[in-house]
Amino acid sequence: MQQRDKLFINGKWVAPHGTGQIDVIHSTTEAVMGRIPEGHARDAEDAIQAARAAFDAWSATPPAVRAGYIRKIADGLKERSEELAQLIAGEVGMPIKLARAIQVGGPVYNWAQAAKLVENFTFEEEVGNSLVVREPVGVVAAITPWNYPLNQITLKVAPALAAGCTVVLKPSEVAPLNAFVLAEVIEAAGLPPGVFNLVTGYGPVVGETLASHAEVDMVSFTGSTRAGKRVSELGAQSVKRVALELGGKSASVILDDADLPAAVKGTISACFLNSGQTCSAHTRMLVPRGRYEEAKAIAKQVADAFTVGDPLQETSRLGPLISAAQRERVTSYIQRGLNEGAELVTGGPEAPEGLEKGFFVKPTVLGNVDPKATVAQEEIFGPVLSIICYDTEEDAVRIANDSIYGLGGGVWSGDEARAIRVARRIRTGQVDINGGPFNMQAPFGGYKQSGNGREAGKYGLEEFLEYKALQLKKPAA
């Protein structure tokens, strides 16, 4: 068991102001796998003051020097890759092969990418008689979720540091142990004191202090739409910049000329990744009404091939959910879907056979789901796919857009030009065309209640920069 009793503030491991501790529960064994400090509002304030004091010097550090530190951090994480993969597989439940590639490989890539980006970024340009410069926004509070814990931290902290900002990180208390490894790597890289600070604890205490504090210039938050609204309210009091990456209810639109087996398989893979605990998961599969029976049969076959089991076993394709509360939430949604008239294609609310321990849920497909049903409208965050029938292309676009969310989605067609035409009409931040792979250099973020702002690539770096115009007096002709 990992016992963490200190916070990382101003370049040092310090004892928290309070004595509370938070248990970290192993998603497969349900045993306590670690303990972390329950941070106090005063700990958050100390971290903010350290970040504020460090800002002037760090923001004036040349981009190439900042890039050097960031590259060291990428290398340090790479050296501890297997340790991190095992840790996150325990915390979150993602199968170990995927944890190595996504939960750790993604952050290593994105730290290195941030170093490369800042070395080549254009920080100033002449526009008429103005010199337009890009400057760091200031002290950034990064509040991150549990589903892709280290990568969501990375997509905020790496570009913020690259931009010249100083950071206070509050990771999710549900999957926080990886953040302590990152802090150790940052310490070993020699980052100046106060540039990066780690405070763990609960959202209503540490998170609200960070979001409301006048010395914080920007909050970057990833989590539920409900919590994102609260962060926005608190941030508005001091008119700070707020970037939000929130929920999703993404639609995969399978057009009538699509390769149906490939489309169904691709949709289910995009739905079940990380046991469905992905904000951009394709949880609504829209199929032509005349091909419903065919799509349903394929979906059952594909879903049933997702072996549920211990994420540390190489044969497991679907691990547990993060917590008992999440398991209860997901199974309740499955039951509600059935109560509201959905057809059970496969899965169901009962626990998988032989898996009494661990927060496991059967991979579930619900058929003939009404577009207005609860399971078609609300984010479930589990391995649950809703099949929705449509009659025309126009109908499909209307159903896809009939959501408070707009984060991800997909369009499948035998004609790529047609797929792109339909994708342009879907109000969402990303759309995969015929299963196009995730691109870590493309902007990621949402429309509507999926949030605002973008992460990843140069777009993620730009989030942490302000514009300043210097009006120059040109010599008289």
Model pLDDT for residues 205-249, shown as the tens digit of each residue: 999 999 999 999 999 999 999 999 999 999 999 999 999 999 999
CA distance 67 to 331: 46
Please tell me whether residue 246 adopts helix, strand or coil conformation: coil
Comparing CA positions, the residue from 357, 377, 363 lying closest to residue 302 is 363
- Over residues 6-61, the pLDDT tens digits come to 999 999 999 999 999 999 999 999 999 999 999 999 999 999 999 999 999 999 99
Does the annotation count 165 as an active-site position? Answer: no
Count other C-beta atoms under 10 Å from residue 65's C-beta. 11
Alpha helices (H) in 121-221, listed in sequence order: 149-163, 177-189, 208-212
Structure tokens at 463: 């989030």
Comparing CA positions, the residue from 198, 234, 227 lying closest to residue 213 is 234
Residue 282 per-residue DSSP state:
E
Does the annotation count 245 as an active-site position? Answer: yes
Determine the Cα angle at 296 with ends 291 and 302, to 5°: 125
| CATH number of the domain located at residue range(s) 2-246+450-469 in this protein | 3.40.605.10
CA distance 395 to 447: 20
For domain 250-441, which architecture applies? 3-Layer(aba) Sandwich (3.40)
CA distance 270 to 463: 27
Tell me which of 208, 279, 455, 463 is the catalytic residue. Answer: 279
Give, in order, the Cα–Cα distances in Å from 467 to each of 14, 44, 53, 137.
36, 28, 22, 9
Tell me which of 38, 245, 455, 463 is the catalytic residue. Answer: 245
Domain ranges of the chain: 2-246+450-469, 250-441
Structure tokens at 120: 């080549």
Mean pLDDT of the chain: 97
User: What is the mean predicted confidence (pLDDT) over 386-414?
Assistant: 98
Lookup result for tokens 């699509």:
258
Count other C-beta atoms under 10 Å from residue 94's C-beta. 29
Structure tokens at 137: 């926004």
Contact 450, 426 (CB under 8 A): no
Count other C-beta atoms under 10 Å from residue 203's C-beta. 18
- Over residues 101-136, the pLDDT tens digits come to 999 999 999 999 999 999 999 999 999 999 999 999
Contact 38, 200 (CB under 8 A): yes
